[in-house]
Amino acid sequence: MNVNRSLLFIGIILGLAGFVGSFLINSFLTPQTDVMVAARVDILKGTEINRLPEDAFVQVPVQFPSSSARKVMDSILKPADLDAMRRVNGVFITDVFKFEPILLSSIVSAENPAAIRINTLALSDPRMMIMTIPVSDNVPKDIRPGDRVDLAVAVTSVGETVDEDGVVSQSGNLLFPTTSFANIPPEALVAVLEDAGYSVTGPVGGPAAQPTATPEVPEAPTLREPIAKVLVHGAEIVGVQRDTSLSSVTSQGEATIALGEILALDVVIPREAFEYITMAINGGSLQVGLLSPIADDWTDQPTLGASLQDLLDIFREDREALATPVPQE
């Protein structure tokens, strides 16, 4: 039996073309399979992810009919996200019910990719809080979420002079509380005076036992207003609120919004600093200092602060140093 080689060759080509075509059609028409993470049990708000067993989660394969529908996966926890959350022990901030897909926004974690969009996800430390600070011209114009800032307060009108020990004085005179020695036994009074450094003469309980010497008390330097103090070091910016206005409208009715001046900053601060910053906003002048992106020396150590007297001392010392003739060799 003779076989037409040309027909055989054409048949082989058509068979290969059909196989390749079927493969390509299946590749393009069959939706891609994604894997999302769902809860196998009810998970309550406040639960640390590492306190849950491995079988508390189930991986669910899903397919979407179009690429636009697949964008839903951007907001859902995936296996790689779950591993990242376990490494940093993320905390659930919403209740998740049995067999419900877990949203990224349900978990607080520094590894959470949704943290740059949702302010509450920046609160991975219970000792921290987010505070909205109104600003105007005291903030760098190109500040953005993720930047670090120092927050300082300047108080221009204290109304009283304060020494370094916090003792208040008026008109330059320190105020001390008045003390009455009435009804105090002489022996007790003598003991108190001697402990304070006085030398007491005369018989105990006798007439007019008087102190004969006064211990030397060093004079505390005064702090002259205005004063300035750093309140928070390296606070993270998680939101920038700007003035907005309508820029233009297209023929299809789509509006273009123009961003204007910065109105406020959402800043992560320690909870104990909240009252001080509130007082600084309402009773002083709060200043925002943008730090270098490579700065890593965040510190909680207190600063000395600055006062007008410090500036005057530096002014006088520098002037005296420059006025002193340099000895010639």
Residue 71 falls within a domain, yes or no?
yes
Same domain, 142 and 41: no
Average pLDDT estimate for 203-229: 60
Round to whole Å and give the CA distance between 327 and 137: 48
Same domain, 43 and 108: yes
Q: Are 259 and 112 in contact (CB under 8 A)?
A: no
Residue that is last in its domain, among 102, 120, 138: 120
Confidence band for 313, pLDDT divided at 50, 70 and 90: confident
Same domain, 270 and 135: yes
Contacts of 109 (CB under 8 A, 6+ apart): 84, 85, 88, 89, 90, 91, 115, 121, 124
Same domain, 140 and 264: yes
Q: What local confidence, expressed as pLDDT, does residue 103 receive?
A: 92
Residue 116 has pLDDT above 60, yes or no: no
Residue 185 falls within a domain, yes or no?
no
Residue 149 falls within a domain, yes or no?
yes
Residue 94 falls within a domain, yes or no?
yes
Same domain, 271 and 296: yes
Residue 41 falls within a domain, yes or no?
yes
Average pLDDT estimate for 273-285: 88
Same domain, 76 and 136: no
**Residue 119 exposed, middle or buried by CB count within 10 Å (0-12, 13-18, 19+):** middle
Residue 19 falls within a domain, yes or no?
no
Same domain, 61 and 141: no
Across 124-133, 155-164, 179-188, the highest mean pLDDT is recorded for 124-133
Q: What local confidence, expressed as pLDDT, does residue 201 receive?
A: 57
Residue 172 has pLDDT above 50, yes or no: no
DSSP state for residue 219 in the 8-state scheme: P
Q: What is the pLDDT of residues 36-89, one digit of tens each?
A: 999 999 999 888 899 999 899 999 998 887 777 778 888 899 999 999 888 888
Average pLDDT estimate for 137-156: 85
Q: What is the domain count for the chain? A: 2
Same domain, 70 and 152: no
Q: What local confidence, expressed as pLDDT, does residue 30 receive?
A: 64
Round to whole Å and give the CA distance between 128 and 238: 13
Residue 194 falls within a domain, yes or no?
no
Residue that is last in its domain, among 75, 94, 120: 120
Q: What local confidence, expressed as pLDDT, does residue 163 receive?
A: 56
Residue 234 tokens read as: 């390296």
Q: What is the pLDDT of residues 26-39, one digit of tens each?
A: 555 566 788 999 99
Confidence band for 17, pLDDT divided at 50, 70 and 90: low
**Residue 237 exposed, middle or buried by CB count within 10 Å (0-12, 13-18, 19+):** buried
Across 148-152, 202-206, 289-293, the highest mean pLDDT is recorded for 148-152
Average pLDDT estimate for 279-285: 86
Q: pTM of the entire structure?
A: 0.54
DSSP state for residue 100 in the 8-state scheme: P
Which residue is it, tokens 């890593």? Answer: 296
Domain that holds residue 55: 33-120
Across 172-181, 195-204, 263-272, the highest mean pLDDT is recorded for 263-272
Q: What local confidence, expressed as pLDDT, does residue 68 receive?
A: 74
Kindly report the average pLDDT of the chain as a whole number.
75
Same domain, 96 and 229: no
Residue type, 265: L
Same domain, 38 and 142: no
Which residue is it, tokens 């005369």? Answer: 202
Same domain, 238 and 144: yes
3 state DSSP class of 317: helix
Same domain, 142 and 53: no
Average pLDDT estimate for 99-123: 76
Residue that is last in its domain, among 120, 145, 169: 120
Average pLDDT estimate for 115-129: 71
Percent of the chain with pLDDT over 90: 14
Q: Which stretch of DSSP H or E encloses residue 229?
A: strand 227-249
Q: Are 239 and 252 in contact (CB under 8 A)?
A: no
Residue 17 falls within a domain, yes or no?
no
CATH number, domain of 48, equals: 3.90.1210.10
